[in-house]
Amino acid sequence: MKKFIQKIKEIWSIEELRKRILLTLGLILVYRFGSFVVLPGIDASQLDQLTKQGSGGLFGLINIFAGGAFSRASVLALGVMPYISASIAIQLLTLAVPYFQKMQKEGESGRRKINQYTRYLTVIITAAQASGYVVNLKAIAGEAIIIDQGLFWLSSIVILTAGTMLSMWIGERITDKGVGNGISFIIMVGIMAGFPQALNAEIQTRLGGGGGLVPFVVEIMVMVVIVMGVIMLVQGTRRIPVQYAKRVVTKGGKMMQMGGVRQYVPLKINQAGVMPIIFAQAIMFIPATLATFFGVDQSAGFWRSMNDFTSIPYNIFYAVLIMAFTYFYTALVINPIQMADDLKRNGGFIPGVKPGRSTAEFIDTIMSRITLPGSFFLAMVAVMPAFAQLLNVNNLFAVFFGGSSLLIMVGVILDTLQMIESYLLMRHYDGLTKTGRIKGRSATSVAGY
């Protein structure tokens, strides 16, 4: 405990780090306050039906990421989800469309253009989702929830769009002036906001005839093991040795010898991050949506299995989708041919492998081999909440046993700890751990989490 207090004092003594932490806490406080401000024209006392709506399915996922703001009909009900959707769309365009590929290679100016396109697309997506949210709000909660029927639809769309833009601005300020990874940090805060309620619900369930505190202690131990496994998944890499040829260059009128140093190219076991789970979840919502649209009876057979996320068919199909999307997204973000060309251009080569095509094939083979266990473990993490519910864990608490929520929390916390440790090491303090150094994620984009 003494060392922990000393470490806090060291962190607080670094002025720049202290300002970043305080700014982040202040912005998060503003965001959490906004998540409790109800849309104008809504009777807050009639929100019970909407609260039940935000307990499962696609609405439940959005509600978790928004920190409960979705079910409270808040001005920040849509949170940063439209921005994430826009970022994913733009990222896919940079991989497939030559115009966006060219912008991505233009450096800082290209990055500013891409960010501007992302903001424009965010406004369009938010306006569309806000319209659907208002329609769904009337359908679920009824007309009685709306006090003023006048310009409620238009005003709500404008306010929800402005709320998402405010959330995006807060995320960007946290990225630039705070602890970094602002959008991911906002999502993590929203997820963590539901943890105390979920923990209390699980304790009450156990004390109310669910086996007492012994099963609860076992659950906590299992959760710790799962978190450790997720940390290994997030940080696991396969390092490929790269040798750079020696060359003589002229610098400042002097002849200098450069190269001849062995380095490593780290290939992540889970290069796709949380994206396969998000894609798979979107696909799994399609059957229920189609059944509702066409008025299909969902009480039996295939439709019932696809609506029950604890059923065996649902989880098998879900796991297969995650593994398939892991390979698909990894193939999009990793280009072995380009990596081989970059190595050859910079005078680098993999020992024992010919430069060029052989290097690309070697990298592609390594990626295929390490992606298989990565995709399998990612699928296992994704279905853990379903297994937890089958073992009588409260549905609110089961969310924290795996899935996209746990992956996002672990990734953001690791990145934040890495940033704090880097400041400590620059000021000649010891790191946060006795041995080794904390490693965050190599990719911290919004879409990649």
Tell me the per-residue pLDDT of 306-341, one tens digit each, with 9 for 90 and over.
Answer: 777 778 888 888 899 999 989 988 887 888 888 888
Does position 174 have pLDDT exceeding 70, yes or no? yes
Query: What is the pLDDT, as a whole number, of residue 109?
Result: 85
User: Which residue range forms the structural domain that includes residue 64?
Assistant: 1-193
* Mean pLDDT, residues 389-417: 85
- What span, in angstroms and rounded, lies between the C-alpha atoms of 27 and 97? 36
Chain centroid to CA 144:
36
- Is 431 a domain residue? no
Tell me the per-residue pLDDT of 51-70, one tens digit each, with 9 for 90 and over.
Answer: 555 455 556 667 777 777 77
- Is 338 a domain residue? no
Does position 389 have pLDDT exceeding 60, yes or no? yes
Q: Which long-range contacts (CB under 8 A, 24 or more apart) does 359-362 make?
A: 360/336, 361/336
* Residues whose CB is less than 8 angstroms from the CB of residue 5 and which lie 6 or more positions away in sequence, other chains included: none
| Angle of the 213-235 helix axis to the 195-207 helix axis, nearest 10 | 150
- Residue recorded with tokens 């990626």: 367
* SS3 state at 211: coil
- What span, in angstroms and rounded, lies between the C-alpha atoms of 316 and 383? 9
CATH code for the domain in which residue 135 is found: 1.10.3370.10
Do 449 and 408 touch, CB atoms closer than 8 A? yes
pLDDT band (50, 70, 90) for residue 445: very low
- Segment among 85-99, 128-142, 174-188 with least mean pLDDT: 128-142
Query: What is the pLDDT, as a whole number, of residue 446?
Result: 44
Do 327 and 364 touch, CB atoms closer than 8 A? no
Does position 142 have pLDDT exceeding 90, yes or no? no
pTM greater than 0.75 = yes
Does position 275 have pLDDT exceeding 70, yes or no? yes
2 φ, ψ (degrees, to nearest 5): -65, -40
- Is 443 a domain residue? no
Tell me the per-residue pLDDT of 334-375, one tens digit each, with 9 for 90 and over.
Answer: 888 888 888 888 778 888 888 888 989 999 999 989 999 999
* Residues whose CB is less than 8 angstroms from the CB of residue 246 and which lie 6 or more positions away in sequence, other chains included: 257, 258, 259, 260
DSSP 66-130: TTTTTTTTBTTTTTTHHHHHHHHHHHHHHHH-HHHHHHHTTTHHHHHHHHHHHHHHHHHHHHHHH
Query: What is the pLDDT, as a whole number, of residue 289?
Result: 65
Average confidence score pLDDT of the chain: 81
* Residues whose CB is less than 8 angstroms from the CB of residue 210 and which lie 6 or more positions away in sequence, other chains included: 392
- What span, in angstroms and rounded, lies between the C-alpha atoms of 82 and 113? 19
214, exposed or middle or buried, with CB in 10 Å at 0-12, 13-18, 19+?
Answer: exposed
- Please, which residues bridge with residue 250 across strands? 255
Which position has the higher pLDDT, 253 or 175? 175
- Is 2 a domain residue? yes
Among 329, 191, 202, 219, residue whose Cα is nearest residue 271: 329
- What span, in angstroms and rounded, lies between the C-alpha atoms of 297 and 118? 40
- What span, in angstroms and rounded, lies between the C-alpha atoms of 397 and 389? 9
Tell me the per-residue pLDDT of 108-132, one tens digit each, with 9 for 90 and over.
Answer: 888 888 889 999 999 999 998 888 8
Beta strands in 144-245 (DSSP E): 237-244
Strand (E) or helix (H) holding 250: strand 247-251
Which position has the higher pLDDT, 10 or 231? 231
Does position 165 have pLDDT exceeding 90, yes or no? yes
- Is 255 a domain residue? no
Distances (CA, A) of 420 to 18, 132, 304: 10, 41, 48
pLDDT band (50, 70, 90) for residue 169: very high
Q: Are strands 262-268 and 237-244 parallel, antiparallel or unpaired?
A: antiparallel
Strand (E) or helix (H) holding 296: none
Do 430 and 423 touch, CB atoms closer than 8 A? no
Handedness of CA 80, 82, 88, 94 (dihedral sign): negative
- What span, in angstroms and rounded, lies between the C-alpha atoms of 222 and 387? 12
Beta strands in 295-353 (DSSP E): 348-349
The domain tally of the chain equals: 1
Do 146 and 138 touch, CB atoms closer than 8 A? yes
Tell me the per-residue pLDDT of 209-268, one tens digit each, with 9 for 90 and over.
Answer: 767 788 888 889 999 999 999 988 888 888 888 887 766 556 555 655 555 566 888 888
- Is 288 a domain residue? no
Among 63, 25, 65, 29, residue whose Cα is nearest residue 47: 63
Do 49 and 142 touch, CB atoms closer than 8 A? yes
CB atoms closer than 10 angstroms to residue 197: 12
- Is 402 a domain residue? no
335: phi > 0 → left, psi -120 to 50 → alpha, else beta; which? beta
Q: What is the DSSP letter of 433?
A: S
- What span, in angstroms and rounded, lies between the C-alpha atoms of 73 and 159? 11
- Is 16 a domain residue? yes
Query: What is the pLDDT, as a whole number, of residue 150?
Result: 66
